[in-house]
Amino acid sequence: MSRRTVLVTGGNRGIGLACARTFAEQGDRVAVTCRGEAPPEVLEAGLLPVACDITDADQVEAAFARVEEELGAVEVLVSNAGITRDSLVLRMSDDDFTDVLEANLTGGFRVARRAVKGMMRARWGRIVFVSSIAGRIGQAGQANYAASKAGLVGLGRSFAKEFASRGVTVNVVAPGPIATDMLSALPEDQQDAYADAVPLGRLGRPEEIAAAVRFLASDEAGYITGAVLPVDGGLFMG
């Protein structure tokens, strides 16, 4: 496999950083977007940190321009950046709802739309959206997050149909509960409850999500597009 230019949004920690590392380890040129200063782990992995808030169209354009200048046209996009703002529905403000959709869904659309332009010219490309089990089964206290992640499924499949003739595949990975710093911040009994609900009896690892993303971006997955791949220990079997 030839070296490719990969952009991972939200690639400064957790699942995004694991994805970026796995591409870098196979020799790809990898950039990651960060909203703040890049942590040492990004630089130690040889990744190119690019400041970008994906809710800002000008910042997205500037980020792509920098990646193209330093690494070349983006051939693989992993749309991973997102936020949570959990609350029960009756306590959730309109801003709580729309801000999460803007970051997770509209932001995903914004970066994929920009990336696919170069992929169309090259007649080859890979886009992988990172969704969530919450978007498949819903989650109390996460109506905004679940809606945004469910939206990525429809978005990804629409992109898949629109750009298949140009050699661009578009797929979605739907992680279950993963042992990231976000989950680690929860009380231990709540973490145990998440693990107990999984048929395999444990939380997933970021590297397991990264392995699925890497496969979908590979030549071996060239006949897969519009798919939703659950990586959730058997939590959702639909």
Q: Are 38 and 49 in contact (CB under 8 A)?
A: yes
Out of 23, 64, 129, 145, pick the active-site residue.
145
Residue in 33, 129, 115, 17 with CA at minimum distance from that of residue 74 = 115
Specify the residue for token string 């991972």: 8
What is the helix (H) or strand (E) element at residue 130, kind and residue range?
strand 125-130
Residue 93 CA to residue 83 CA, distance in Å, equals 16
Distance (Å, rounded) from C-alpha 167 to C-alpha 109? 19
Burial class (CB in 10 A: 0-12, 13-18, 19+), 145: buried
Closest CA relative to residue 47, chosen from 63, 77, 24: 24
Catalytic residue check, 145: yes
Place of tokens 């990264």: 210
DSSP per residue, 5-35? EEEETTTTSHHHHHHHHHHHHTT-EEEEEES
Sheet holding 228-231, edge to edge: 48-51, 29-34, 5-8, 76-79, 125-130, 168-175, 228-231
Active-site residue set: 145
